[in-house]
Amino acid sequence: MEPRRKRRKRREERVGGNAFMDTVRAAFIRWVALEKWREIEDLRTTVGLDLGRAIDEAGHFAGRGRYEPLWVARWKAEVRLEVTGMDAGSLFQAIEKAVGAAVDEEEAERKALGDRPLEEDSEYKGFVDTALESLLREGGGTLGTGS
């Protein structure tokens, strides 16, 4: 007779562990990267800045609070004309890489300092709430009801 599998293991196989939160995290990184890319484009079109200056101006992250220096350092390391060139796709890829690395570094710093996790950050929560509201509207409010 085969030993029974634990219930928890079956559940993890069904829902993929934290697959939902992993997806949310990736979507948050993409959203922040898109916001920064749009900020650069806005600075170029409305203020008339050249690409290099717009990249420099967009490299501020006041909403990240005490973790802002981590974000700025990662931005300066990854998002530069010498790295991205003038290509919009390369620029976005560099922004997304910088944001992803900054999120990783912020999470590690939060853990080291005993601070609350990123998932409890107001910007992160706001992103999740807005995305879920949109998803519920599209699904007719039936998400998770089994209907």
Residue 79 has pLDDT above 80, yes or no: yes
pLDDT at 93 over 50: yes
Of the listed ranges 1-10, 60-69, 90-99, the least confidently predicted one is: 1-10
Better pLDDT: 25 or 70: 70
Hey, where are the domains in the chain? Answer: 23-119
Give 144's pLDDT tier (boundaries 50, 70, 90): low
Mean pLDDT for 86-112 is 92
- How far is residue 93's CA from residue 37's CA, in Å, rounded to a whole number? 10
**Cα dist. 65→39, 48, 61, 74 in Å?**
19, 29, 8, 15
- The number of CA neighbours under 13 Å toward the Cβ of 137 is 6
What is the model's pTM?
0.76
Percent of the chain's residues with pLDDT above 70? 80
